[in-house]
Structure 1
Amino acid sequence: MTADRGPDAPYEIFEIPDFTLVCGQTLRPARIAYRTYGTLNADKSNAVVYPTWYSGRHWDNEWLIGNGADGMALDPSKWFIIVPNMLGNGLSSSPSNTPPPFDRARFPRITVRDNVESQYRLVTEKFGIEKVALVLGWSMGAGQTYQWAVEHPEMVQRMLPFCGSPRTAPHNKVFLDSLRAAMTASVGFDGGWYPPDRWPVGGLRAFARIYAGWGFSQAFYWDEVWRELGHTSLEDFVVGFWEGFFLDGRDPNNLLTMLDTWWSGDVGLTPGFASTEEALASIKARAIVMPAEKDLYFPPEDEAWAVSQMTGCTVEHRVIPGVWGHFAGGGANPVDTKFIDRAVAELLAADPGI
């Protein structure tokens, strides 16, 4: 019997024969792995686009997708939910699955714009969708949400970026640079030409240790909230959760590709705009922007600034309270999940921005 959800469930591939990237190189073809939940209605008005996040796969988004009977807002009996996998995540075109000569360390640089353009091609060419009822996402999924709303203002009716930003901040780049340095200095990395069956495990574990200090807040550690995830000590949590997370099928070259995508994120680089402020002002979609109270990557004040620039739409800045930091948006805490789900429900019930 085939699984309906999770990593064992079937997914689909959309191919773009010649996909020229912002960097000037071309994927031949670009392969976009995606999963859909629900049924597209006759007038194609019930589409939701829900991109993945840094190293996430489509099944990692399923915590916010209901089952038709649990009352969650992203109800597949009402909405047609498309979850496209980011380029570089190991399922869509990536260093780990692209044949030579563009494999591994030669895989081209990918931008947020490249991801959104490939998703736009999927949505329009595969499904013939002209309006998207909602685009939403966590972390890098939020960055893609902003890019969708800037690049396709005539199409995106509502948007809900949570724990993410339209532009990668300088402090965030310092964090990303530390990750890159740890991985590339690792024994066995060999400039990205390590054998496919011999990953630089020391680099992955160092990567995880850096992440451990950023993904959750200081208060999360002070209050030992990691115990709620079933861990028995701080070291048990760091090894079991963080090192286990990055050792779970996350190829180092893939991680570095997505890291570069994150580092360069800025809707102000969209053609036709002179600045991030100008790009944000062009958004027409009805929006709820949801940072987490203690997020170290995307603090609420950064997103308050973004909201202040979104002068062309109806928008609310709504902070997710609590100590879970960035992972308030990751589906691990039921309280935060309910908070996000309520916002999704409100937004879907509201008149669209366009």
Structure 2
Amino acid sequence: MLILKRILATSLAFTSLTAVAQTAETKPAEPVQHTFVIKNFRTENGVTLPEARVVYGTYGHLNAAKDNAILLPSHYMAEMHGYEWLIGPGKALDPTKQFLITSELFGNGRSSSPSNTPEPFHGPRFPVTTIRDNVEAVHQLLTTELGVQHLQAVIGFSMGAQQAFQWAVSYPTFMDRVVATSGTAKTYGHGIVRLESQIDAITADPAFKAGDYTAQPQKGIETFNLIWTAWLFSQEWWRQELWRTEEPAGTTFKQVVEKYRTHFIDGADANNLILQMRTWESNDVGATPGFNGDVEKALASIKAPVLYMPSATDLYFPVTDAQYESKFIPHGTLLPIPSLWGHPAGAGASPADEKFLNDHMAGFLKTGKVD
């Protein structure tokens, strides 16, 4: 089932829907993995972690002036390989010229997470970390470990787009460009209801045991997977059975659904899944200090040019949310992705999606404008 393998190319969701199809000639070089450690990291909710760890990858080399860096913050349960649809020969990002930094969100199982943090913060006792917490941790990483004081761009898909918007509000002069695909600056009510249904699917499994399980609550995770799948692609994608473009002849609809139910995020920890959904729910640039909950005022404070690329058929982040937010961004360009692939269109789900993203991003990164 090729489409699922692409989603789970590194055993974590949304890493790249096209990575498996890349040939040796087009696939970028393997990133170098690093870990940045912050002592006594205080979260926005007032909890201090004695040690917070941020795993990140780098492609290419930081130049002497330290002015060729681009940040690519990760999306839900993803790791450092999640942007390879955008990196390499003929694509928008060139690691022979740019220094690409792919940071991993708290809760993905590699950066500090419920599953890998010792007591008193293990499992369900790990604090909810916000998008701003993740941005602050990576800001420390950039400025203290790498000595980067300015970025050419912040580019993000999904929860990476949430981080890109937060970067633009928290550090408005830190970057020259911002690109956000399939993600918004705030999580609105309908998205929270969807996330709560997925959290309930996991916690309702008796094996969950309030988060202190001895084995993963598999039935709950499978229900979570199925709900997630229902929102992943557009209704038209399902009606036209576009999964057939990726599947071996003879594959049935029932087999496709069963694969998603049982293998959507293989090996994921239930508390990690929930933590990142809580992070997603709390996303709101209006809650940034100084804006008193006013998302419109926060968006109006953005100084960098923004290329805002929602998927025209996204059910997680409806294009209408992007249309609303874009009205308040002073130097923003709204460019919906014309795709039936729903949310993953923002990560190059189909060849047409990948080309659309790379073509428009390449021009925007050079000029700050879209032709």
Secondary structure, aligned partner of 1:109? coil
Secondary structure, aligned partner of 1:62? coil
C-alpha contact (below 8 Å) 2:314/2:343 kept by paired residues: yes
Q: In the alignment, which of 222, 232, 240 is matched to residue 223 of structure 1? A: 240
Task: Structure 1 unaligned segments of length 5 or more: list them.
Answer: none
Q: In the alignment, which of 92, 95, 99 is matched to residue 114 of structure 2? A: 95
CA distance in 1, matches of 2:229, 2:338: 20
How far residue 327 of structure 1 moved from its aligned partner, in angstroms, is 1.2
How far residue 61 of structure 1 moved from its aligned partner, in angstroms, is 2.5
Amino acid at match of 2:53: R
C-alpha contact (below 8 Å) 2:348/2:357 kept by paired residues: no
Greater displacement, 70-79 / 161-170: 70-79
Q: In the alignment, which of 166, 169, 178 is matched to residue 150 of structure 1? A: 169
CA distance in 1, matches of 2:49, 2:71: 23
- Which residue number in structure 1 is paired with residue 62 of structure 2? 40
C-alpha contact (below 8 Å) 1:216/1:324 kept by paired residues: yes
CA distance in 1, matches of 2:174, 2:139: 10
CA distance in 2, matches of 1:347, 1:147: 20
Residue by residue over 1:293-322, the C-alpha shift from the partner in whole angstroms, topping out at 9 and shown as x without a partner, is 1101111111111110112xx211000002
TM-score normalised over the length of structure 1: 0.93
Amino acid at match of 2:273: L
Q: In the alignment, which of 154, 160, 169 is matched to residue 141 of structure 1? A: 160
Q: In the alignment, which of 37, 49, 56 is matched to residue 78 of structure 2? A: 56
Amino acid at match of 1:251: D
- Which residue number in structure 2 is paired with residue 129 of structure 1? 148
CA distance in 1, matches of 2:218, 2:360: 39
Q: In the alignment, which of 141, 156, 172 is matched to residue 191 of structure 2? A: 172
- Which residue number in structure 1 is paired with residue 358 of structure 2? 341
How far residue 241 of structure 1 moved from its aligned partner, in angstroms, is 3.6
Amino acid at match of 2:150: K
- Which residue number in structure 1 is paired with residue 223 of structure 2? 206
Amino acid at match of 2:153: L
How far residue 243 of structure 1 moved from its aligned partner, in angstroms, is 3.0
Identity of aligned residues (%): 42
CA distance in 1, matches of 2:158, 2:31: 24
- Which residue number in structure 2 is paired with residue 265 of structure 1? 283
Q: In the alignment, which of 285, 294, 305 is matched to residue 304 of structure 2? A: 285
How far residue 71 of structure 1 moved from its aligned partner, in angstroms, is 1.2
CA distance in 1, matches of 2:102, 2:123: 25
CA distance in 2, matches of 1:271, 1:156: 20
C-alpha contact (below 8 Å) 1:187/1:202 kept by paired residues: no
TM-score normalised over the length of structure 2: 0.89
Amino acid at match of 1:18: N
How far residue 27 of structure 1 moved from its aligned partner, in angstroms, is 1.3
Secondary structure, aligned partner of 1:28? strand
CA distance in 2, matches of 1:10, 1:155: 24
Amino acid at match of 2:200: A
Task: Structure 2 unaligned segments of length 5 or more: list them.
Answer: 1-8, 12-29
CA distance in 2, matches of 1:229, 1:243: 19
CA distance in 1, matches of 2:32, 2:367: 33
